[in-house]
Amino acid sequence: MELRLYIPTRWQDLSAKQLLFVANLYRFNQGEADFLTRALLFLTGLRVVVGKKNTFAHKSIKKEVIIDPEEMAVMTEKCRYLLEIDEIKPLQWIRLARARHYRLYNATLEEYLMAENYYFAYVQTRETKHLDNLIAVLYRAPWHRWDAEKIQTRARRFCSLPDETKNAVFMWYVGFRTFVPRRCPTLFKPGGKSNSFNVRSYINGVIHTLNNGDITLTDRLLRSPLWYALDEMELRAKDAEEMERKMKTR
């Protein structure tokens, strides 16, 4: 019987089990070759036969198979996309809490701003409490309404999650952040944020831009759909850029 292997070719094709495995690989400082080899073996279901060179087993066939190094190298290259995080379909449920849409189409501006706050807090400190808070923003039980004041309370249910599960959620958000500048290229131009990026100033700037300085509109803006707010800011950024271009050509 011929061995046929399926290798997912993009992040969004990974199953929940495969995503957790890759998320766990990301937790360790290992070489590129080792990372790709481990990923390939898990994604394909191949098992190394100890004591036999270039010999592998697979549950789909009874006999062992020999795969030469050149062929293994070709298959390993198909996993190279895993070295750079892109959009990911998240784990759908974590402890009775359901994930928001993977592009946050069903999230509010306030949810996004809080997620950004906890994301940067975790990146800068690597303290897991910020990651737990990020998970509490991105996941919630269907019978719970959004309540920013309860995030840290709800985060307690996630503090004992396995590290690979937490990392899978973090990687989902990293992937989401690669989509945002693709949809809003003017608003999120490369190089627009320095290493000393101030999250609080960024959040205040977003709100100020949308409410035109009228603080009485802030609460309503925070409850508005995220992509309505970002698309509006993208249009304003384009208008400002066009006006600046015209001023320079005068």
* Tens digits of residue pLDDT in 191-211: 544 344 455 566 666 677 677
Q: Is residue 249 part of a domain?
A: no
Name the average pLDDT for the chain: 88
**Residue 181 Cα distances to 5, 72, 149, 168, 210, angstroms:** 35, 36, 29, 21, 18
Query: 78 and 157 share a domain?
Result: no
Confidence at residue 218, expressed as pLDDT on a 0 to 100 scale: 73
What pLDDT was estimated at residue 182?
92
- At 145-172, the pLDDT tens digits run 999 999 999 999 999 999 999 999 999 9
Cβ-count burial 171-208 (b if 16+ within 10 Å, e if not): bbbbbbeeebeeebebbbeeeeeeeeeeeeeebeebbe
Task: List phi, psi (to 5°) of 151.
Answer: -60, -50
Same domain flag for 181 and 65: no
pLDDT per position as a tens digit, 21-50? 999 999 998 899 999 999 999 999 999 999
Co-location of 117 and 229 in the same domain: yes
Q: Is residue 88 part of a domain?
A: no
Assess whether 188 and 210 both reside in one domain: yes
Longest pairwise C-alpha distance within the chain: 77
Concatenate the DSSP letters of all residues of 206-219 into one string. Answer: HHHHHHTT-GGGHH
The whole-angstrom separation of Cα 66 and Cα 89 is 34
Q: How far apart (Å, rounded) are the C-alpha atoms in residues 85 and 97?
A: 24
Domain, as residue range, for 68: 11-83
Prediction pTM value:
0.88
Q: How many structural domains does the chain have? A: 2
Q: Which two tokens stand for residue 161?
A: 């999650």
Mean pLDDT of 179-190: 86
> Higher confidence at residue 186 or residue 158?
158
